[in-house]
Amino acid sequence: MNNQGGKLNNEKMASNIYVENHHLTDDEIDLHEIFSVIWQGRWIIIIIVSLFSIASVIYAMKQPNIYKSEALLAPAEQEQAGGLGALAGQFGGLASLAGVNLGSNGSVDKTQMAIEVLKSRQFTSDFIQKHNILADLMAVKAWDMKTNEIIYDEEIFEAKRNKWLREVEAPFKPKPSMQEAYKVFEKIINIKKDNETGMVSLSIEHFSPIIAQQWVNWLITDINQTMKERDVIEATKSTNFLAQQLEQTKIADIRTVLYKLVEEQTKTIMFANVRAEYIFKTIDPALVPEEKFKPQRALIVLISTFFAGVLSVFFILIKFYIVRK
């Protein structure tokens, strides 16, 4: 019985070894078969890859150059926040009644506020209309480096007559709305703030490097002016209110506090009037870029060629297994 059991165990082990070897052989045969199928279909792969490569080269060459102009800015609000911050702990409650924001922890972070204003629809709309850049934003097709001229898409805008020719359905009109313009503008503007240094980078991408630089400079000037006007209006209203309170109260301590608040608001107005770089100081000004920012034509061709190679291999294998079944 023991001999018979031993024989059965040996036979099972031999059978298992055979099955495993058989599977390994099948795997080797399948792998060899796959390479064989790919090799047999190599001309189809070469043709598909060649067609995709040629098409990607043509596509990449037709893409216009996009230039990026960038400026590095430093916040300037710390210099004007010190006086108000010193009063925040003692007179914050009274100041808030007067409409004066002394900030928290002795600081007023107007930098982030300015960044949000830059990103806002209202500021963008005002910027586009003020500088009359709607056509340069919505209808440009290319830029002629030799003549430094903007080439407009004639199906969208006719520059000679300054007429919009877009064919659109309601509620859209031939002339783009500010909502449409905002959606395009937010794609070409980039604002980044370094949380460690507080530095802010502002960049614009455009077909024309000259326009890109010009728009960055305009944005810096306009945001400084906008934030300045806001603070002056707020400080003027606060000063008028505080002056009224001074006329109404005879208590010496309160009058002292009010005088200090009036003094700080006067400083704010004076600071705004004497400085052009009110919110942002330009550390590294925007330049006219000499080299394009995109498209990366070599990368486009490389990715297209790789995709074509993978696609053609799958096509050959799928075709083989369908025919085989």
Q: Is the predicted pLDDT of residue 10 greater than 60, yes or no?
A: no
State pLDDT tens for residues 39-88.
887 888 888 888 988 998 888 888 889 999 999 999 986 544 444 444 55
Q: Is the predicted pLDDT of residue 217 greater than 90, yes or no?
A: yes
Q: Is the predicted pLDDT of residue 106 greater than 60, yes or no?
A: no
Residue 13 vs residue 106, higher pLDDT: 13
Distance separating alpha carbons of residues 205 and 188, to the nearest angstrom: 5
> Across-strand partners of 150?
143
- What pLDDT, on the 0 to 100 scale, is given for residue 90? 52
Which range of 23-27, 198-202, 253-257, 260-264 scores highest in mean pLDDT? It is 198-202
Domain boundaries, the chain: 2-62+298-324, 67-294
Q: Mean per-residue pLDDT for 7-13?
A: 51
Distance separating alpha carbons of residues 52 and 62, to the nearest angstrom: 15
- What pLDDT, on the 0 to 100 scale, is given for residue 14? 47
Q: Is the predicted pLDDT of residue 180 greater than 90, yes or no?
A: yes
Q: Mean per-residue pLDDT for 113-133?
A: 95
CATH of domain 67-294: 3.30.1890
Residue 98 vs residue 317, higher pLDDT: 317
When the pLDDT of each residue in the chain is averaged and rounded to a whole number, the result is 81
Beta strand ranges found along the chain (DSSP E): 67-75, 140-144, 149-152, 157-158, 163-164, 189-193, 200-206, 280-284
Distance separating alpha carbons of residues 268 and 279, to the nearest angstrom: 12
Q: Is the predicted pLDDT of residue 96 greater than 60, yes or no?
A: no
Residue 261: pLDDT band (50, 70, 90) is confident
Side-chain-facing half-sphere of 165: CA atoms under 13 Å: 12
